[in-house]
Amino acid sequence: MSLTKKTKSKAVKNQYELEISVDSETFAAAVDAAYRKNAEKINVPGFRKGKAPRALIEKMYGKGVFYEDAINACIPDAYEEAIKESKLDVVGQPDFDVVSADNNGLVLKAVVFVKPDVKIENYLGIEVEKKVAEVTDEDVEAEITRARERNSRIIDVTDRAAKLEDSVNIDFDGSVDGVPFDGGKAEKFDLKLGSGQFIPGFEDQVVGHAIGDEFDVNVTFPADYHAENLAGKAAVFKVKLNGIKETELPAADDEFAKDVSEFDTFAEYSADVRAKLQERNEKTAENEFEEKLIDALIEKLEADIPEVMFVEETDNFVRDYENRMRMQGLDLETYFKFTGMNLDGLRQQLRPQAEKQVKVRLALEKIAKQEKLTAAAKEIEAEYKKIADSYNMPVEKVKELIAKENLAADLKVKAAIDLVKEKAIIK
């Protein structure tokens, strides 16, 4: 197998045409293998399945009856060898055409795209604003309130009337002009007052009533209500209040601090909450800072990027998305049923992220090359170990899955963004 010719397209940038030849001996062996694989599926009168001579089958069905399978079997090795020989940095999947296939061997034509020439300048010293939000007393109080809500308990209320934020249990029976309507009646229904679950005005009229009260609630359905026969109509609900429950928060004191943290006093716990909020704000600011830097790099990038790179990266994003769905117990088909989306819609949604990823990768690869950044053997080994630890896999298994040159390329890209961040001017 060998590369016969490499031709650069004049009509389309970054496109090449490779003519790949497979010698007659290799192709003949592939045809023979295809015959042995398919012979049992072919009926020839007078022969048991799988026993008919190849020459007879070819006479009946044509000389090239096994060529398609043979060609498909030859393509992977032939293409890989041709790419190595061509020294092209190919991206995406090639388009193949068969030039000839006969006793002289196989000749293929492969149309491929390569990574574009990239130009990027003035990437050191980029001015970027970085703003870390200040943690206020209100932020700390809100975070502690959320912790108290997570540790709250529900208690029955018997000594007062219902109020907003209570959960009430009610019977109700609704009618319009004295006529009951579908879905307007229920018994022992749990409703949180103030949740907005019912028609506007309903929950407010339950407030102030005590357990055992029976009363009317007068409301008007919204003009855009989903049931057209009720939209804009005045309704009366006969309501009975069966029970009231409220959420009781634990006191914000030392005992609460001991229950929810490693600290003995509420003051220590509050200080730790503030520190963690500050850390979160700093991390958010750092992420925003890096995103602004990346956007600035993309603005400086000059490259005629083949469409196939965006398509391939979008495919990668779709596969990642599908994997995340599977981890949540869903597949894409089920997810599409729930959301009303389809594969084309998902691809369209993920395309902008994919384009950004392709552009920033090209920019950082070019910076790494221009700055002569390298990945030392120690760094590569450390990265292999880090990946192995995160997936709980043996290091040797990770090395089988990830080629050393690919890992080194990733480390150089990381070194490039670190350099750009280090040299950035923070406003």
CATH code of the domain containing 401:
1.10.3120.10
Q: Give per-residue burial for 131-154: e unless 16+ CB within 10 Å, then b.
A: eeeebeeebbeebbeebbeeeeee
Q: Inform me whether the pLDDT recorded for 63 exceeds 90.
A: no
Q: Inform me whether the pLDDT recorded for 64 exceeds 90.
A: no
Residue 37, pLDDT score = 86
**Does residue 14 sit in the same domain as residue 88?**
yes
**Does residue 419 sit in the same domain as residue 273?**
yes
Of 179, 214, 248, the residue that ends a domain is 248
Which has more pLDDT, 283 or 330? 283
| Residue % of the chain over a pLDDT of 70 | 99
Q: Give per-residue burial for 104-119: e unless 16+ CB within 10 Å, then b.
A: ebbbbbbebbbbbebe
Of 114, 141, 164, the residue that ends a domain is 114
**Does residue 274 sit in the same domain as residue 386?**
yes
**Does residue 238 sit in the same domain as residue 287?**
no
* pLDDT tens figures, 381-417: 999 999 999 999 999 999 999 999 999 999 999 999 9
**Does residue 196 sit in the same domain as residue 321?**
no
Say if 132 falls within a structural domain: no
Distances in whole angstroms, Cα of residue 330 to Cα of each of 155, 319, 324, 326, 335? 37, 13, 9, 5, 7
**Does residue 279 sit in the same domain as residue 421?**
yes
Give the Cα-Cα-Cα angle 422, 424, 426 (nearest 5 degrees).
Answer: 115
Three-state secondary-structure class, residue 247: strand
Q: Is the dihedral of CA 310, 316, 317, 319 positive or negative?
A: positive
Say if 349 falls within a structural domain: yes
**Does residue 228 sit in the same domain as residue 274?**
no
Question: Taking residues 58-86, what's their average pLDDT?
Answer: 90
Packing angle between helix 54-61 and helix 24-38, nearest 10 degrees? Answer: 90
**Does residue 270 sit in the same domain as residue 410?**
yes
Question: Rounded to whole angstroms, how far apart are CA atoms 251 and 87?
Answer: 71
Domain membership of residue 14 as a residue range:
2-114
**Does residue 274 sit in the same domain as residue 416?**
yes
**Does residue 205 sit in the same domain as residue 337?**
no
DSSP-assigned states of every residue in 132-197: PPPPPHHHHHHHHHHHHHHT-EEEEE-SS---TT-EEEEEEEEEETTEEEEEEEEEEEEEETTS--
Of residues 218, 238, 244, the one with CA closest to residue 162: 244
Say if 140 falls within a structural domain: no
Instruction: Give the CATH number for residue 96.
Output: 3.30.70.1050
**Does residue 243 sit in the same domain as residue 270?**
no
**Does residue 188 sit in the same domain as residue 276?**
no
Residue 115, pLDDT score = 95
Question: Taking residues 105-132, what's their average pLDDT?
Answer: 95
Q: Inform me whether the pLDDT recorded for 207 exceeds 70.
A: yes
DSSP-assigned states of every residue in 324-375: HHHHTT--HHHHHHHH---HHHHHHHHHHHHHHHHHHHHHHHHHHHHTT---
Residue 341, pLDDT score = 87
Q: How many separate domains does the chain show?
A: 3
3-state secondary structure 283-296: HHHHHHHHHHHHHH
Q: Are 15 and 94 in contact (CB under 8 A)?
A: no
Tokens standing for residue 148: 């108290």
Please give the span between the terminal C-alpha atoms of the chain, in angstroms, as a whole number: 59
Say if 49 falls within a structural domain: yes
* pLDDT tens figures, 254-299: 999 999 999 999 999 999 999 999 999 999 999 999 999 999 999 9
Q: Find tokens 């053997």 and name the residue.
A: 377
Say if 416 falls within a structural domain: yes
Say if 213 falls within a structural domain: yes
Instruction: Give the CATH number for residue 215.
Output: 3.10.50.40
Q: Inform me whether the pLDDT recorded for 332 exceeds 90.
A: no
Say if 123 falls within a structural domain: no
Question: Rounded to whole angstroms, how far apart are CA atoms 369 and 366?
Answer: 5
Average pLDDT, the chain: 93
Say if 131 falls within a structural domain: no
Of 60, 83, 114, the residue that ends a domain is 114
